[in-house]
Amino acid sequence: MTPRERFIRTLTFGRPDRIPFSPGGPRESTLRAWRTQGLPADVDWFAQLCETIGVETQKTRPYVDVGVDFRMIPQFEEKILERKDGHCIVQDWKGNICEISDQFDVTYLRVAKDFVTRRWIKCPVEDRDDWEQMKARYAVDAPGRFPRDFEERCRKLRDRDYVFTVSFSGPFWQMREWCGFEGLCMMMVEQPALVAAMAAFWTDFVAGCLERIFARVVPDQVHMSEDMAYKAHAMISPAMTREFCKPSYVRWARMTRSAGCPLVGMDSDGYIGELIPIWIESGINVCDPIEVAAHCDIVAFRRRFGRQMAYCGGVDKRAMAAGGRVIRRELKRIAPVVRGGGYIPGCDHGVPADVSWPSFVDYSRLLARMTGWL
């Protein structure tokens, strides 16, 4: 069975030969620590892990990225505006002004290379005039939105044995990037028509990009990022989620299923128990990372939602750090869900630096046995 077949078969409650081996991955600070704890320098950590525990990795055809850019074009200039007291005031590529430690630079705000705390000072959309200017950065036909060799990439992707996922921001995530969290929440109360307009615009923009992809190649998964929950509750009410976000989910999920793609995935940190019912209503059938510290219990979720939702993640990173009997107890806890299908177990977020390399190897060996690789 190919990695592609195994992934789809697992998350659609089929019968894979093995469950995908996906222990989770380190951030930059974690990898730095691992290099001092037994992971050799200048080697790929995952290849070394598999060699160490005896998991035979499968070779696949060369990976092709479809290359479609869902971000703003043009982006804002990244720059440091001020340095003071061990911190930097920066403008990031999205137009946000924020404060970060001078241990980092603006590149850390492009991608999640590490765990970086920031303080938001100003966001690019504060009123309708700002929004009218922001809209111009999201033309589907903007130069660079689709790569010059888009047709060729799609042709190659039709003959793949690896998982092809199309990823983009959900409406809450995207509007929060424009307005800031507090700004967006206040707008939902004070200017709901503006929020609805922004959500509708984002829905149309994403749909326009997806239409061009789906006309040429069908992905294995369409995956949205939302991050719309705190430790114990969602960031907005279920009513607000249904009003401002659900229309986007429904449209994209219908498009995805109509194209023949079997998996519609959702990523959100925090406690998602209030959100899963809305996602199911919307046609979403996979979610991650199921953070245990945020009171997410994958065993309880499976009892409550049955086979309406599949999952990735769900292994408590704190148990991974503790190791020994603690991680063994954690894996025993999730074992019924693993046996029931529709679940790829792994770390419930990025692997933090307090998970040592020896502990990660031990946990990964246990996980490989659980998923049929050893």
* Whether residue 206 sits in one domain with residue 217: yes
* Whether residue 101 sits in one domain with residue 248: no
pLDDT in tens, 160-207: 999 999 999 999 999 999 999 999 999 999 999 999 999 999 999 999
* Whether residue 165 sits in one domain with residue 114: no
332 contact partners, CB below 8 Å, separation of at least 6: none
* Whether residue 349 sits in one domain with residue 233: yes
Exposed / middle / buried, residue 147 (Cβ in 10 Å: 0-12, 13-18, 19+): middle
* Whether residue 241 sits in one domain with residue 205: yes
* Whether residue 67 sits in one domain with residue 109: no
Contact 159, 94 (CB under 8 A): no
* Whether residue 92 sits in one domain with residue 204: no
Average pLDDT of the segment spanning 196-221? 98
* Whether residue 209 sits in one domain with residue 89: no
pLDDT at 105: 83
pLDDT in tens, 237-279: 999 999 999 999 999 999 999 999 999 999 999 999 999 999 9
Nearest residue to 216 via CA among 141, 142, 139, 153: 153
pLDDT at 268: 98
Tokens of 240: 């607000």
* Whether residue 354 sits in one domain with residue 213: yes
- Percent of the chain past pLDDT 90, that is, above it, reads 94
pLDDT at 112: 79
When divided into structural domains, the chain yields a total of 2
**Residue 276 to residue 204: CA distance in whole angstroms:** 24
Does the pLDDT at position 17 exceed 90?
yes
Angle between helices 171-179 and 181-190 (to 10 degrees): 100
- Residue span of the structural domain in which 52 resides: 3-73+126-370
Other Cβ atoms less than 10 A from the Cβ of 34: the count is 23
Q: What is the DSSP letter of 94?
A: T
* Whether residue 313 sits in one domain with residue 272: yes
> Of 92, 123, 154, which one is at a domain's C-terminal end?
123
* Whether residue 152 sits in one domain with residue 46: yes
Taken as a whole, the chain contains a residue count of 374
Backbone angles phi, psi at 229, to 5 degrees: -145, 145
> Of 123, 154, 186, which one is at a domain's C-terminal end?
123
Mean pLDDT check: name the lowest of 57-61, 163-167, 232-236, 308-312.
57-61
Average pLDDT value over all residues in the chain? 96
Does the pLDDT at position 74 exceed 90?
yes
**Residue 214 to residue 209: CA distance in whole angstroms:** 9
CATH code assigned at 270: 3.20.20.210
pLDDT in tens, 97-142: 999 999 888 888 888 788 888 899 999 999 999 999 999 999 999 9
Contact 319, 334 (CB under 8 A): no
What residues does 217 pair with on adjacent strands? none
Tokens of 37: 């704890």
> Of 86, 106, 123, which one is at a domain's C-terminal end?
123
* Whether residue 110 sits in one domain with residue 150: no
Contact 272, 305 (CB under 8 A): no
Average pLDDT of the segment spanning 350-357? 97
**Residue 155 to residue 64: CA distance in whole angstroms:** 10
